[in-house]
Amino acid sequence: MRYLALSILVLGSLAFFRLALAQVDVGMSEIGASVNLTQDDPRTIVARVINIAMSVLGIIAVGLILWGGFVWMTAGGQEEKIDQAKKILRNGVIGLLIILSAWGIVTFILSSLLGATNSSGGSSSCTSGQTLACGCGGGMSCIDGYWGPCLGSDCNSGGGPTSCDSNTLLPGCQAADQICATDSYCDSDSCSCQPKGQLGDSCDADAATPTCDADNNLCGEYLTCGPASCVCEGQPVITAVSPLGGFCEEDANKACISDDDCSQSCDVVTPNGTDGNLITIMGANFGVYNPESSKVLFPGDVPGVSPSVVNPECIDSWTNNQIVVTVPASSVSGPLTVVAADSQSDKTNDDIGPALPDFIANDLVRPGLCLLTPESGRLSDKVNYFGINLYSGGQAYFGDYARNVRGLDSVFANPAGLAGTSTIPNLQKGGMSSFVVSSVNGVPQKSNYVKFVKQEEPNAGPYISHFQPTTGRAGQYVTIHGGGFGGARGESKVYFGDQEASYIFPEACGSSIWKDKQIIVKVPSELSDGNYEIKVDLSGVLVTSQNANPNVFTADSDEALKSSICKISPPRGPVGTAVTLWGEYFGDLGTNGLTIFSRDKGVSGVITSDRGADRLNPNAPPQAVSGPVRVVKNGAWGNDVNFEIGTCSIDADCSGEICCPAGTYKQGRCAPTLASCYINIPRSVFEWGFDTGFGSG
């Protein structure tokens, strides 16, 4: 009887498992709505087949157990029949155990497969179509009952978020450090991003208790929380040294701008300088300057010279993350060392921090910077530069040697070359470097870097940040980038100087030429050769290119018309999105045209015609990022248009198009109309395969 009870219990349990498996939702309703097939997942169908097969085998096994019991009860004490009954029972139980084990393994594998392909995008449920603000100006959308990723958030360029609550719909603070900038953490008490501690700052996670609750997450990069001191501790770390390169590989005393200036190649990555030059050491944990123990050692343990020796204005040249020092006399090549006030040190060639090239001592005299005042500012603010060799004709830049923006109205007229000024151009907010290019001994030389912070601009209305291209003839498309232009042209006008632009475009371009952050116009035919300021008249509000860089457009009738784009659709989408470009001057119809996405990711395709415009149909390539898209012809291109990599959350993300809502085929993508979110479903087949692992020999 106990075997019979066991069998009933097992069968009851298996029936429960079967019901539980059949109730799993695998998201087939959307597919079933488009194709006339069963609503069930093929994996669930396979599971049912296995359930039936296992059920049959289980019934057979239980039948053997019952038969064994019957033989035993009717044995009448005969030893032979009892032995036979025992064998039947034993074999039946073993078979049932094998069946149960196999069933359990199959159930686990199928459940794991179903869970692994669940389409949820977040960790908490929500109502499909719901949106929620997140991060630094970002947003996330509810898709299929789960929160998607935080899109459009940028916490690493200054002005971080006020809140780091990852889900405001839940009670309390759902603290998430990843919402904050890299140098901040999420304080669960205030639910706001707070800056991580610097050298010597407290890192006690619970100040209410008498003991130290050391938390390394409260300390900045290259720092740990000391369990005894409960403050952030760490030795100095050198991450960069400038100026870099500018000399020939075969002769360190020969200046160069490119490889053409050298018999071998022009070095662009090695820090170098001569006696009296200023160099900048960037890093972390340099601490507070102590004149007795803080120092920079050049090769041979020769201490660097204070910049105030070469320019009295060079004060406060030692900070926690930047040191400016003068190269001492008779310096030689080798690694540099920073010794902090507590005698801890770091060398440029040790295992602490990044490995950096050795400093090269040469004879190249360069401009040098030691101080900027102010060290931060907004568009059109004046910045004072102090250093050495800042002679007449010098030009200030913001950024690095490879990617930079020219300062506006740079003036370096100090007879001794000790000072100059420049005006902040239109820059993205956040931390960066500034440097100066000045001619020394007839050779243009780059200075060392010094840190600068571009502050966030107040809401000052419409503006022009830049335009592309900066030169062209009549008929050339020009894209004006900026903000606050409005969603349609209306009565607004664009001028090159005093000559109104042309707005005659192919029919396919439609109303795409005027967006809130981008305007596309044509150079008018009446414009004479020369330099012109671009003006946008927004129904009485005049916006000019005065603060753009460059700030004038050069009309040149000798230039050829370059490839020009008037429309991109969709303006946003993930990698692989099919994009259509319309415009003019792409090339001959039927030939291949080259589309370049950001990071120089090129896609080739055949040029076709559509409603009077040239057309290309590239797919957003892998590794592309948000940024300008252009069509290249004969190695040159005209204007560009913006394309955002990522999914949309609201219609405003799509520059005049519709953000396809949850439940549509193109959910999270931009489309011209709501109806187009449901069409263009490709032919597809849902397959699920498995391999027994046995070969056929």
Residues 74-98: tens digit of each pLDDT = 877 788 888 888 888 888 888 888 8
Q: Does position 34 have pLDDT exceeding 70, yes or no? A: no
Question: Given the DSSP bridges, would you call strands 641-645 and 572-573 parallel, antiparallel or unpaired?
Answer: parallel
Q: Does position 328 have pLDDT exceeding 60, yes or no? A: yes
Whether residue 246 contacts residue 240, with contact meaning beta carbons closer than 8 Å, is answered with no
Confidence of residue 521 (pLDDT cuts 50, 70, 90): very high
Q: How far is CA 259 from the centre of its chain?
A: 32
> Could you give the CA distance from residue 305 to residue 276 in angstroms, rounded to a whole number?
8
The neighbour count for residue 212, using CB atoms within 10 Å, is: 19
Instruction: Among 116, 149, 174, identify where a domain stops.
Output: 116
Q: Does position 277 have pLDDT exceeding 80, yes or no? A: yes
Domain shared by 417 and 519, yes or no? no
Query: Which pLDDT does position 19 carry in this prediction?
Result: 39
DSSP state of 691: -
Coil, strand or helix at 255:
strand
Q: How far is CA 530 from the centre of its chain?
A: 40
Query: Which pLDDT does position 119 carry in this prediction?
Result: 36
Query: To the nearest 10°, the Cα dihedral for 294, 299, 303, 306?
Result: -90
Q: Does position 304 have pLDDT exceeding 80, yes or no? A: yes
Domain shared by 255 and 335, yes or no? yes
> Could you give the CA distance from residue 423 to residue 374 in angstroms, rounded to a whole number?
11
Question: Given the DSSP bridges, would you call strands 322-326 and 278-284 parallel, antiparallel or unpaired?
Answer: antiparallel
Residue 139 lies in a domain: no
Closest CA to 629 of 244, 686, 620: 620
Query: Which pLDDT does position 690 carry in this prediction?
Result: 52
155-164, 300-309, 459-468, 621-630, range with the lowest pLDDT? 155-164
Domain shared by 623 and 574, yes or no? yes
Confidence of residue 486 (pLDDT cuts 50, 70, 90): confident
99-113, 122-136, 557-571, 594-608, range with the lowest pLDDT? 122-136
Instruction: Among 526, 555, 584, identify where a domain stops.
Output: 555
How many domains is the chain built from?
5
DSSP 31-87: HHHHSSS-SS-HHHHHHHHHHHHHHHHHHHHHHHHHHHHHHHHTSTT-HHHHHHHHH
Confidence of residue 302 (pLDDT cuts 50, 70, 90): very high
> Which residue range(s) make up the domain with 97?
2-116
Q: Does position 254 have pLDDT exceeding 70, yes or no? A: yes
Q: How far is CA 440 from the centre of its chain?
A: 39
Residue 441 lies in a domain: yes
- The CATH number assigned to the domain holding 355 equals 2.60.40.10
Domain shared by 342 and 381, yes or no? no
Instruction: Among 361, 381, 409, identify where a domain stops.
Output: 361
Domain shared by 324 and 247, yes or no? yes
Domain shared by 327 and 379, yes or no? no
Confidence of residue 31 (pLDDT cuts 50, 70, 90): very low
Domain shared by 287 and 352, yes or no? yes
Domain shared by 540 and 590, yes or no? no
Output the average pLDDT for the chain.
81
> Could you give the CA distance from residue 120 to residue 25 in angstroms, rounded to a whole number?
12
> Could you give the CA distance from residue 475 to residue 68 in angstroms, rounded to a whole number?
96
Query: Which pLDDT does position 17 carry in this prediction?
Result: 42
Confidence of residue 210 (pLDDT cuts 50, 70, 90): confident
Domain shared by 333 and 401, yes or no? no
Closest CA to 326 of 314, 334, 313, 342: 314
Domain shared by 433 and 471, yes or no? no
The percentage of the chain sitting over the pLDDT mark of 70, rounded to a whole number, equals: 80
> Could you give the CA distance from residue 614 to residue 509 in angstroms, rounded to a whole number?
10
Query: Which pLDDT does position 179 carry in this prediction?
Result: 67
Residue with tokens 């300062």: 407
pTM for this model (two decimals): 0.52
Query: Which pLDDT does position 43 carry in this prediction?
Result: 59
Residues in the chain: 697
Query: Which pLDDT does position 208 carry in this prediction?
Result: 80
| Long-range pairs for 27-35: beta carbons < 8 A, 24 or more residues apart | 27/118, 27/119, 27/144, 30/663, 31/686, 34/665, 34/681
Confidence of residue 120 (pLDDT cuts 50, 70, 90): very low
Residue 192 lies in a domain: no
CA angle 541, 546, 547 (to 5 degrees): 105
